Amino acid sequence: MTFGLDVEPAKPTTTQIAIDASVVPGVECIEATVFTPATPASVVVVATPGGGMSRRYFDLDLDGYSMAAHLAGRGITVVTIDLPGVGSTPPPADPRALNPDALGAILASAAQTISARFGGAAIVGLGHSMGAMLTLIAQAHHRPFASLVLLGWSGRGLPEVLLPDEAALVGRPNEARAAIADLAQARFGDLLPQPATRGTDTTASDFLLRVPIGADVRTALRRANARMLTQAGLWAMIPGISTAEHRAIDCRVLCGVAEMDITGDPADLPGHLPNAGVDVYVQPGAGHNSNVAPTRSALWDAVADWCLSHGG
């Protein structure tokens, strides 16, 4: 494995991260980008994007729209990753293997590899939306992180959009695990659907954006589009099937949500993680895709401040 640290400071470097091959047959590594600060602090953030986005969500192809570069500018090493089937990481032969538990185990294995390479640094698990849920699952079952940053996440799910067969699984995790692949196939038509073909002015739903953005930003966001890990996406929508994982989290957590997010009342967030030390940040003037909002740098600075103060 090469980790690409022999480079100029603060320059992003594409690399591969080794994965324990016993986790999912056919998955031995994932693609990642490392952002190395000129003067590194003792904090490394492992960033996992949400559903339908590649790791480029954290480093959009537009000046001033890179969360990863912003955090690196604050001294934080950032490793953005593409899980199997997303972005430049190929899927295994059987996409049914990419259920939420397996994806959490893959993420944990990646974090452990990163931890070994950056010995002595605090490893912070950061995820957005579905990526936050997978970061939480990885921590609940494998504890690879010192602390968590969960962006655009809440434990409420999205009950208002569930189909009847999906709603029947609310609060029934064992049955959901058995059925999730079939239900995801039924809802999405494919377990790993390609990004929808969209025009440059309709990159993401205004339901998620909630704030006006320019055509150049929409184009940059479209370039970050990726195949959806539908089993994990559906899992995140069903309330009450990760309650055991929520209760298992006992580290420090920053929950960052947007003022116009889809996550419900921010005051409810600590109650979803009853055994964790939860801090809440509400990003003003933003929707769910918070990295393209005019107030994005306020969110990024809040994350950097928290990681440097509480990341270990």
Predicted TM-score of the model (pTM): 0.93
Query: What is d(CA 175, CA 161) in angstroms, rounded to the nearest whole number?
Result: 20
CB within 8 A of 206, min separation 6: which ones? none
Report phi then psi at 256, rounded to 5. -110, 120
Q: What is the pLDDT at residue 208? A: 78
Sequence-ordered list of residues with C-beta below 8 angstroms from that of 8, at least 6 positions apart, any chain: none
Q: Which pLDDT score, from 0 to 100, does residue 205 have?
A: 58
Distance CA(158)–CA(208), nearest Å, equals 13
Q: Is the dihedral of CA 71, 73, 117, 306 positive or negative?
A: negative
Digit-coded pLDDT (tens) for 208-241: 777 888 899 999 999 999 999 999 999 999 999 9
12-155+247-310 fold: Rossmann fold (3.40.50)
Q: What is the pLDDT of residues 12-28, one digit of tens each?
A: 889 999 998 889 998 99
Compute the average pLDDT of residues 30-57: 95
pLDDT at residue 293, as a whole number? 94
